Amino acid sequence: MSLSVVQTGFTLEAFEAFVESRREPAWLVELRRQAWERFHALPTPDTRQEEWRRTDLRLFRFDRFGLPQRSAETAALPAAMLAERVDRLGGRVVTLDSHPWDTSLDAKWRDRGVLFGSLDDLVRQREDLGREYLQRQIVEPHADKFAALHAAVWSGGTLLYVPRGVAIDQPLYSLSAITPGGVDFGHTLVVLEDGAEATLLSETSGGGASPGLHCGAIEILVGRGARLRYVNLQNWGTGVWHFAHQRALVDRDGQLQWTIGALGSRLAKVNQHVAMIGPRAEVQVNGVMFTEGKQHLSYHTLQHHQSPECKSDLLYKGALQDRSHIVWRGMIRVDRDAQKTDGYQRDDNLILSETARVDSIPGLEILADDVKCTHGATAGRVEDEMIFYAQSRGLSRKEAVRMVVAGFFQQVFDRITIESVRDALGEVIGRRVREYA
């Protein structure tokens, strides 16, 4: 199996060679060229912009990375957290350094019209579907320089398409991995037609301490009466820069449970938006964040109520140790016609060292007059009394801190309906917790 090496720099020559090698339809090539022009026209974000005021990119350089190129090298996949824990997978998609590596789908789902595999391949095989959904550009390619770069050079992505009325009762799994110094431009597109149901577990891994780059996007469309459980676990190595725009549209009576696990990367800047575009749509967003060393995670969330009688429920919890930094900025936006809205957002943080920092900023923007919206944020340190009480019952100080951290996350773990995900997140966080001074 061949994988990629990185050609340094995002040059016009490299882009033209990339486009030529993919042999894609003219409409897709045109979208890429438009995004490439935006990428070069837009400035690199800096702290003068409100959205980036708490995220410093001065150490990031575009010219240290580039487009992946094929080579004759081989490599082993990095370790993953979820794949071995889940029984009876209905399908599997793996990419390495932004190239397809392995795909499989149970025949009974393929026979019912389900598509699950490499977005690269399926766009060519089903150009009609690719054109219908990719041309919608749910994630706006002009949102910032990173969104434009992704729209221009995405590769090695994943497509899940579930036809009308099909309910998949087995979880599906995708892994995006990189080797040390690698890059990933994966694009995930999930489409559930009316009345469809599915569970997708998505994971990123690899890169180690070497400088790496992920510049990705997730687009989700949940049709009328459809139900999706989606788990997105970010577990890159400590040298990886992680930039992503993620957006979901949920139609009338549709339901989405979206669980975020943010554990890895050197620096992460993620925009996670959910929009309820049809009446009575429901969205639950769960976030688990844990940082150590000098990690910086910045997650901006938006719950956009566009239709009446919709419900959104967001709960993020973060724990920080060493000199790490978490930024969460949330917004509930209620349009004028979105009456009878029920919106909730909460972000809680547990600080495990004197040098960690958290910025938690909830917000409301309400244009309707018949709504119920609640928001809040908390941050605090482990109480000495808790540690003393646990130690008086025979636990070491480190065991006591782990118990407190586990209890802190339990509220959001209880909302995760997939047992293997709960167990994996709990175990990896428990291993990383160091003694609280």
Q: How far apart are CA 149 and CA 226, in angstroms?
A: 32
- What are the C-alpha distances in Å from 267 to residues 55, 97, 176, 291, 322? 9, 19, 18, 10, 15
Rg of the chain over Cα atoms, rounded to whole angstroms, equals: 21
Residue 283 CB: number of other CB atoms within 10 A? 24
Question: How confident is residue 408, by pLDDT bands cut at 50, 70 and 90?
Answer: very high
pLDDT at residue 2 above 80?
no
Q: What is the DSSP letter of 165?
A: T
**What single string gives the DSSP state of each residue in 34-83?**
HHHHHHHHSPPP-TTSGGGTT---TT--GGG-EEEEE-S---PPPP-SSG
pLDDT, tens digit, 9 for 90 and up, residues 369-381: 999 999 999 999 8
Q: Are 116 and 92 in contact (CB under 8 A)?
A: no
Q: How far apart are CA 404 and CA 424, in angstroms?
A: 18
pLDDT, tens digit, 9 for 90 and up, residues 332-341: 999 999 999 9
* Range scoring the smallest mean pLDDT among 56-70, 143-157, 346-360: 56-70
* pLDDT computed for residue 398 by the predictor: 82
Question: How confident is residue 435, by pLDDT bands cut at 50, 70 and 90?
Answer: low
**What single string gives the DSSP state of each residue in 155-198?**
-S-EEEEE-TT-B--S-EEEEEEE-TT-EE--EEEEEE-TT-EE
Helix (H) or strand (E) holding 109: helix 107-110
For 282-300, what is the mean pLDDT? 97
| Phi and psi torsions of 126, nearest 5° | -125, 70
Query: Given the structure tokens 């244009």, which residue do they identify?
Result: 367
* pLDDT computed for residue 436 by the predictor: 56
pLDDT at residue 7 above 70?
no
* pLDDT computed for residue 400 by the predictor: 85
pLDDT, tens digit, 9 for 90 and up, residues 18-43: 999 998 999 999 999 999 999 999 99
For 177-182, what is the mean pLDDT? 92
Kindly list the domain boundaries of the chain, sorted by start residue.
4-278
| Cβ-proximal residues to 78 (8 Å cutoff; 6+ apart), any chain | 177, 178, 179, 205, 206, 207, 237
Instruction: Give the bridge partners for 172, in sequence order.
Output: 91, 200
pLDDT at residue 3 above 70?
no
Q: Which amino acid is at 243?
A: F
Length of the chain: 437
Residue 431 CB: number of other CB atoms within 10 A? 8
| Cβ-proximal residues to 222 (8 Å cutoff; 6+ apart), any chain | 192, 228, 248, 249, 250, 251, 254, 255, 256, 281
**Which residue would you say has higher pLDDT here, 434 or 155?**
155
Q: Are 308 and 338 in contact (CB under 8 A)?
A: yes
pLDDT, tens digit, 9 for 90 and up, residues 46-94: 999 999 999 999 999 999 999 976 544 566 788 888 877 887 899 999 9
Q: Is the pTM value of this prediction over 0.85? A: yes
| Cβ-proximal residues to 128 (8 Å cutoff; 6+ apart), any chain | none
* pLDDT computed for residue 437 by the predictor: 46
Count Cβ atoms within 10 A of the Cβ of residue 291 and give its class: 0-12 exposed, 13-18 middle, 19 or more buried: buried
For 129-151, what is the mean pLDDT? 94
